[in-house]
Amino acid sequence: MMPTLEHITVSEFQNLLNHSKLPPKTRLTVTFEDDKTGIEILKRKRATEAMQKLKGSGNGKLVAALLEERHRDKLR
């Protein structure tokens, strides 16, 4: 029987992977209870990361507004 980890956030999962030393041929399966929710979480995370990279690029007000919008989305 394979070990199972349930009810973990995406950021906790990312931290777990970053600090794990897995054999090269290790296969992982990630299953979201609601596929749409998982996809939306990853899209928001990527968008937020992209906006963080844009900070200081001369588009400060736009980036700040987008980051604030993402923060409000996260609270919903």
Please list the pLDDT of the chain residue by residue as tens digits (76 residues).
566 676 777 788 888 888 888 888 888 877 766 667 777 777 878 877 777 777 766 666 777 777 777 777 777 6
Measured CA to CA, the distance from residue 41 to residue 30 in angstroms comes to 13
**What does the pLDDT read at residue 2?**
60
Alpha carbon dihedral 4, 17, 33, 52, in 10-degree steps, equals 160
Report the pLDDT value the prediction gives residue 39, as an integer from 0 to 100.
Answer: 76
pLDDT at 35: 64
